[in-house]
Amino acid sequence: VIKCKAAVAWEAGKPLSIEEVEVAPPKAHEVRIKIVATAVCHTDAYTLSGADPEGCFPVILGHEGAGIVESVGEGVTKVKKGDTVIPLYIPQCGECKFCKNPKTNLCQKIRITQGKGVMPDGTSRFTCKGKQIYHFMGTSTFSEYTVVADISVAKIDAAAPLDKVCLLGCGISTGYGAAVNTAKVEPGSTCAVFGLGGVGLAVIMGCKIAGASRIIGIDINKDKYAKAKEFGATECISPQDSKKPIQEVLVEMTDGGVDYSFECIGNVGVMRAALEACHKGWGVSVIVGVAAAGQEISTRPFQLVTGRTWKGTAFGGWKSVDSVPKLVTEYMSKKIKVDEFVTHTLPFDKINEAFELMHSGK
């Protein structure tokens, strides 16, 4: 058993608490990882807020991390002690019908137990002050050591800087893949990206790499425009600058609508606007943001009858074990940006400050 520091969420709506936790050794087909770096994501904040119906407490959150394999359980063959890895919240077992289908990346092998905050055998590897602590998204990267299923880990280039590539565990991969895998943006196309946070910037990067000629960034926070342009946005607009609905503004700006739109916020009203901003006959709108539990999307069916397509994406459609090492290689060869997404680097015990920075849009 390893004793180490972790940020424990004891209950919903309260700040994280840095505690000493015990991390049990990995069982069969499990891997124990020394986490070197982790990022914070709105999904962690959503669960911490208490709005997530799958949220269980007390829990160790975090799902954008990178580290080194400390030890492996019986039967683990794909990674060994000392390997550099990224934990994966969408695993890839290679055996379920989802993994065997090229149309999806949603491996279901450990979905049920992962959603309940436990390892595949139904138990937890974390204890603190004599209490069992739940896992989160199969990763729990807000701990100096964590245990994951062996299908939930990608071995990456040992030379990669872990404080950067940890972002490929969720946000950057999600946005980039939404553009290149889910939407399949084509050269010369016009795109609109709603929400210019980390995921939105990654979508812009993907649209640019795919050859889009016009990329319109949309956000009410104008402080985000300069960064969006750095990533490839050709122009940025705020919905608050017009009395008309944003979809009408976009349709006018683009002679009938955009070819591709992306919702990167998790707001069902914006999801509708993003669809309705698409061009009749061929426009495609991709939902990337995760809306709160119980919310529903709506539009007039005529929007779809007249040739628009509404799609969604999880982790950018990447089959995780196969794709994450390739994304790291693309970063190392400067095909994709990663360093530019990092705004602040903080010590682990300042993790609550990181959440405050994220909520303030900084």
| Structure confidence by residue, pLDDT tens digits, 161-212 | 999 999 999 999 999 999 999 999 999 999 999 999 999 999 999 999 999 9
* Fold for the domain defined by 2-169+319-352: Quinone Oxidoreductase; Chain A, domain 1 (3.90.180)
| Structure confidence by residue, pLDDT tens digits, 262-294 | 999 999 999 999 999 999 999 999 999 999 889
The answer regarding whether domain 174-314 maps to CATH 3.40.50.720 reads yes
Calculated CA dihedral for residues 187, 190, 195, 201, nearest 10 degrees: 30
pLDDT of residue 358: 92
Of 45-54, 73-82, 89-98, where does mean pLDDT reach its minimum?
45-54
CA torsion sign, 177 to 183 to 184 to 187? negative
**Residue ranges matching CATH 3.90.180.10 in the chain:** 2-169+319-352
Q: What does the chain come to in residues? A: 362
Question: Residue 23 — very low, low, confident or very high, per pLDDT cuts 50/70/90?
Answer: very high
| Structure confidence by residue, pLDDT tens digits, 105-124 | 999 999 999 999 999 999 99
Which parts of the chain are beta strand (E)?
A: 2-9, 17-23, 30-39, 59-60, 64-72, 84-87, 126-128, 131-133, 145-149, 153-155, 190-194, 214-218, 235-237, 260-263, 284-287, 309-312
pTM of the model: 0.96
**Residue ranges matching CATH 3.40.50.720 in the chain:** 174-314
Question: Residue 240 — very low, low, confident or very high, per pLDDT cuts 50/70/90?
Answer: very high
pLDDT of residue 53: 85
Q: Which residue in this structure is represented by tokens 């208490």?
A: 50
Find the mean pLDDT for residues 287-307. 95
Question: Residue 52 — very low, low, confident or very high, per pLDDT cuts 50/70/90?
Answer: confident
Question: Residue 51 — very low, low, confident or very high, per pLDDT cuts 50/70/90?
Answer: confident
